[in-house]
Amino acid sequence: MTFQATDAALGLAGGALIGLASALYLATHGRIAGISGIVSGVLDRAGDWRARLAFIVGLVAAGALVALAKPLLFEGPVASLPVVAAAGLLVGMGTRLGSGCTSGHGVCGTGRLSLRSVAATLTFMATGALAVAATRIAGGVQ
């Protein structure tokens, strides 16, 4: 896969939309748009669980629309179901240990200049880089 100027523009546009959605959620609901907290609230049927469910449905619908409009953006290596399940379990455990996820800490927390969120985001990024390096060394997905 070669890098093109449109790749950078799409990444920039996606990042701007994530920031806008996070700011709008905070402004309209007074809550951080941390996905792990939103999903947890839906599963527990806590407080404004309908608004949280609408947020999740919007995320899935937006991804589905982009996949229909630009299916090439979703090409790439596909992991097996056991690998995806294990990864999901590890991410879930990490969000509990870190008291939040990359969206809550990385997007919202660092935007609010929270030192705890900056530390968590640096930990997420370092761990992700180490996981990719270990996977490549072990002969996993390229």
- How do residues 101-119 score in pLDDT, each as one tens digit? 777 888 888 878 889 889 9
pLDDT at 3 (0 to 100): 53
pTM of structure = 0.68
Containing 127, the helix (H) or strand (E) segment is helix 115-137
pLDDT at 65 (0 to 100): 92
pLDDT at 75 (0 to 100): 79
pLDDT band at 57 (very low <50, low <70, confident <90, very high): very high
Residue 89's alpha-carbon distances to 76, 84, 86, 110, in angstroms, are 22, 9, 5, 25
Residue found by looking up tokens 């609010």 in the block: 112
On the question of pLDDT at 18 being above 70, the answer is: yes
